Amino acid sequence: MISVATSAIITASLKELNAIQAGAPVPGQQMVDGLELLNNILDDWNAQREKVYADAFLPFVITPNLQPHTIGPAGSTWVTTQRPVSIEGIQVILTGGTPPYVYVRKRDAAWWQRQPAPTVTAKYPTDFFFNPTWSAGQGAIYFWPVPTVAYSVKLWCRIVLAQLLVGTVISLPPGYNYALRMMLAKRWAPSLRKPWTLAQEQLTTDAILVFQSNNTDVPKIATQDAGMPRGGGGGLPNFMWPYGGIR
């Protein structure tokens, strides 16, 4: 973990491109331009699961008989700094119940569209569909059945990498600092009319792979029975998940 000022990342990127001399201050307009590019990179990374380093488990309370529940900035049913990119799962906490909690099955838009009785009610939902709309920065969660009791819930979401200000000091997980510096330099090189070499491209790729390797979940694999799987299947016996190809 490393703490670094946004301005330091911008300065380091300019040095990488030989756009400023060591120890020289960054002109005000360049600092503004660098910040805009840096925030664009973070916005892009939020859309890519492998770029996000952690999940969040957000606590909320169901509003009985409400459909849908919105989630996002102020004015939403459930308020967060920014609407989640996705919701991986929802858990309903049954206070004093047996079992103490239930998992709500994640469904897709096609399932919700086929639902013949979307207004059916029950004490708690068994299924949900998250529609990641962006109206007023909100997403919409459709529960089925529509819950009638104000149970607490936990939402399993990926975290959102926050937008930055020039004076922001951020704590970065291992590998992110250098990757941000190099990605910013790569994005900035054309407008600054600076060359971008093959060596710099390889360093940037390597830096991204370093932190992505910590964020990638290796899928759980099981055989047909306790022993070897049955023969006759195809498959890729030499497939290496972290590398995304045959090794």
Residues 149 and 188 placed together within one structural domain of the fold: no
Radius of gyration of the chain (CA): 23
pLDDT tens readout for residues 109-132: 999 999 999 999 999 999 999 999
| Pairing mode, strands 69-72 and 87-93 | unpaired
pTM, 2 dp = 0.70
Residues 85 and 178 placed together within one structural domain of the fold: no
Residues 37 and 65 placed together within one structural domain of the fold: no
42/203 Cα distance (integer angstroms): 19
Of 32, 24, 41, 40, nearest in space to 7 by CA: 32
206/192 Cα distance (integer angstroms): 24
Domain assignment present for 67: yes
Residues 61 and 153 placed together within one structural domain of the fold: yes
214/234 Cα distance (integer angstroms): 30
In this structure, are residues 136 and 73 in contact, taking their beta carbons and an 8 Å threshold? Answer: yes
187/72 Cα distance (integer angstroms): 30
Domain assignment present for 110: yes
Give the H/E segment covering residue 93.
Answer: strand 87-93
Q: What is the pLDDT of residue 246?
A: 37
Domain assignment present for 238: no
Domain assignment present for 137: yes
129/66 Cα distance (integer angstroms): 14
With a CB cutoff of 8 Å and minimum separation 6, the contacts of 137 are 72, 73, 82, 83
| Nearest-10 Cα torsion for 109, 114, 116, 119 | 0
User: For residue 82, what are the domain limits?
Assistant: 55-158
Domain assignment present for 221: no
Give the DSSP letter of residue 20.
S
In this structure, are residues 141 and 71 in contact, taking their beta carbons and an 8 Å threshold? Answer: yes
Residues 30 and 62 placed together within one structural domain of the fold: no
pLDDT tens readout for residues 139-179: 999 999 999 999 999 999 988 888 898 888 988 888 899 99
How many domains, the chain? Answer: 2
Question: Quick check: helix, strand or coil at residue 155?
Answer: strand
Q: Which of 158, 173, 191 is the last residue of a domain?
A: 158
Residues 150 and 89 placed together within one structural domain of the fold: yes
Checking if the pLDDT of 238 tops 70, the result is: no
Give the DSSP letter of residue 216.
P
Mean pLDDT, to the nearest integer, of 6-17?
95
Residues 60 and 43 placed together within one structural domain of the fold: no
Other Cβ atoms less than 10 A from the Cβ of 121: the count is 15
Percent of the chain with pLDDT over 90: 62
Percent of the chain with pLDDT over 70: 86
184/187 Cα distance (integer angstroms): 5
